[in-house]
Amino acid sequence: MGSSKVSQQEINQAVGLHERMAKGMTGGMRLVLSFKIAERMNFRGRNLSEAELVGAYLCESDFGGAKLSRANLFGADLTGCDLHESDLSKADLRGVQLKRANLERANLSGADIRDGFIIVRDKDGNFSYHNNQRQGAVITDSKFNNADMTNAKMSRVFGPRTDLTGCILRGAVLREADLSNSDLSGVVLMGASLRGCKLRKASLFPADIVGPDGKPSGRKIAANLTDCDLRAADFSGADLRFARLLGARTTVTKFAGAKLEQAELPPGTKT
């Protein structure tokens, strides 16, 4: 795969060798797609654990159910990718582009999704951002329904209109993220840091609990922000009805115009 653009046939061959390596079989070889163009490729259900995908252009590819634990995706472009039910635990996702990506029920526990930039040198010796990537990690209009992001690091990367319904974000770091107009219904944020976050007009209303048949069970789960660091966070106009914020730090937190009926707030919280 010497050229910058790779075919599905080349992908299948390289992934096959990678899976042999992962099983400890002879003749295996680690998958390296760093800086390659591999858009609209099929990786569904494949084992890509610890693969090297730095700066890869993977737009609209199918990673549904794929294993990407500890994979290096630093600066990769995953715009429009299907990553539902994939395993991205402890993956390096710094500087990744996830616009319109589907990460429903994905496992991102321990993943690093902070800002990151790749600087490259052209043939004339000049340095520039790889793929004109000047904004670091970008996550907007993405779906993370019921994803597990326990202890994930995501400072400043989430953008508006992100669907985080029912997500598990225990101990996650989301400092200065912009989640305005996002859906955080039923989210679990116990012990998470949302210091300086923007959550204007975000919804943290109780979410429907879905049964084994995929249909609403008639029960709801309230958003849980117990023991969170919410200092300087902005919840202006947000829907926090029934949300649990006991033990949260709310110094200079903004709640102007927020819906707080039946919410459990720390004593002395200024609203």
Question: Which tokens go with 225?
Answer: 């922000």
CA angle 167, 186, 45 (to 5 degrees): 30
Q: What pTM value is reported for the model?
A: 0.81
| 40-91 pLDDT per residue, tens | 999 999 999 999 999 899 999 999 999 999 999 998 999 999 999 999 999 9
Place of tokens 């616009």: 99
Residue 163 DSSP class = B
CA-to-CA distance for 42 and 64, rounded, in angstroms? 9
Rounded mean pLDDT of the chain? 87
| 49-62 pLDDT per residue, tens | 999 999 899 999 99
CA-to-CA distance for 243 and 203, rounded, in angstroms? 10
